[in-house]
Amino acid sequence: QVQLAESGGGLVQAGDSLTLSCKSYLHTSGSDAMGWFRQAPGEAREFLAAVRWSTGITWYADSAKGRFTISREIAKNTGRLQMNNLKPEDTAVYYCAVGQGGYSEYNYRLWGQGTRVTVSS
């Protein structure tokens, strides 16, 4: 039973932009937040950004500030991560998650299956 479904990944060139989407099939409470993480091969999962569903308050990792923008569309129960000026080092599997918010992956109780982003040089 799919609860979070990411989409929008793919193969792009360095400098391109890409927007990832995460459709939530859950009842999302006002206190919930949606976060985006990524995991490159051989690396630990990395927090990128999160947004509080009710207030729109956001958190960003330093690595994401300036190039990545998180947003949510409440009516569609969908969160998005817009990524600009992509670099080969952004190559990873990107995950969305729902939980209480913040920077730690342990704050998130539900995870999507991930969508792969590959950035060629």
pLDDT at residue 4 is higher than 80: yes
3-class DSSP state of 18: strand
Q: What is the pLDDT of residue 26?
A: 80
Instruction: Give the Cα separation of 85 and 72 in Å (integer).
Output: 21
DSSP state of 53: T
Q: Specify whether the CB–CB gap between 34 and 103 falls below 8 A.
A: no
Q: Which residue has the tokens 């999962």?
A: 45
Q: For strands 92-99 and 115-120, give the pairing.
A: antiparallel
Specify the long-range contacts of residues 70-73, CB closer than 8 Å, at least 24 apart: 70/34, 70/36, 72/34
- If one compares 28 and 20, the residue with the highest pLDDT of the two is 20
Q: Mind listing the pLDDT tens digit for each residue in 40-96?
A: 999 999 999 999 999 999 999 999 999 999 999 999 999 999 999 999 999 999 999
Averaged over 2-26, what is the pLDDT? 94
User: Shortest CA distance to 86 belongs to which of 1, 2, 7, 20?
Assistant: 20
